[in-house]
Amino acid sequence: MTDLSRRAALRLAAAGSLAGLATPALAQDWTPPGPVRLINPFAPGGSPDILARAMAPHMQGFLGQPMVVENRPGAGAAVGTRSVARAAADGTTVLLAPISSVIAPFMMREPGYELGEFKALTWLATTPFVLVVRSGRWADVGEFDRHLKANPGRLSGATGGSGTPHQLAAELYRGASGGDFTLVGYRGTAPALTDLRAGVVDFMFADMPAALGQIRQGGLQALAVCTPSRVPALPDVPTMAETVAPGFEANSWVMWWVPAATPDPVARRLSAAALHGLAQPDVRTRAAEVGFLLHGTDMAGAEAHKRSETEKWGTLIRARGLRFEEG
């Protein structure tokens, strides 16, 4: 058994002993013993940050304690994620878990955590991905797809860096299309989109909150979205699935995770706080403005989504032999 596995087992055992002390009233009446830290494993301004900061004022009123968004970026989200795995399981530390938290254990030699060390509270939202190119380059996604296949190795795609969902979306498309292209990793989405507009690279599977403004301004052209159905923010843009890649789906998401040893009644109270925040009109308006698709699942739905995404991306990463590259 690895050190991580031992730690996970000890924490799960502790959860059992703590849960035995909990009463049904705790799920409704529990108040955090101090401020709740929402750990975002990315820098400020990204998708999890936008949603968390909109929700925080409503959640702190619900729980009776301040909600503090704390950014802990680094190593493809592994730095912030493992900090929550090592935190006290007392309900005062929550991970704003992005898809990258699932990706890292498959791509990194020593991510510093295992996925079994977390309990999923709710699946808050999907961040739709959109295939974007420089405006006017291709008429539609079909023309782009045909050009890529007719010119193997000639096109380049941008990603936000190694181990990012942009990279995995492009690899998923590589398998679906049978096309050949080069991927260029950047230090984040913003510089990647800048080079895309300048013609340095040819395409990108970008998260919609980052790209939507430039799409609306005309600097970028949205060829297709990567959701199963069209999205309200771009109603005239077709899906990859309905055009060039049947069954294609590649998006990011935001979930709430806590250490696995967190007692279930405490976890349920935190989940209820998240759902309360997500239901507020100003939060829903802000989410629609930047292109989020809101879910707000219960804990069972969140665990099911965590498992399915782990299987999907773990399978792809192993099949491609992908590894996290520093720098």
Question: Is residue 261 within 8 Å of 154, Cβ to Cβ?
Answer: no
CA nearest to 231, candidates 102, 101, 131, 100: 131
The CB density around residue 28, as the number of other CB atoms within 10 Å, is: 11
CA nearest to 267, candidates 51, 26, 48: 26
At 111-144, the pLDDT tens digits run: 999 999 999 999 999 999 999 999 999 999 999 9
pTM of the model: 0.84
Mean pLDDT of the chain: 89
Question: Is residue 103 within 8 Å of 313, Cβ to Cβ?
Answer: yes
Report percent pLDDT > 90 for the chain: 79
Q: How far is CA 149 from CA 87, 125, 144, 181, 244, in A?
A: 48, 33, 9, 9, 12
Whether the predicted pLDDT of 18 surpasses 80? no
- Confidence grade of residue 28 (pLDDT, cut at 50, 70, 90): low
- From the CA atom positions of the chain, what is the Rg in Å? 20
At 216-236, the pLDDT tens digits run: 999 999 999 999 999 999 999
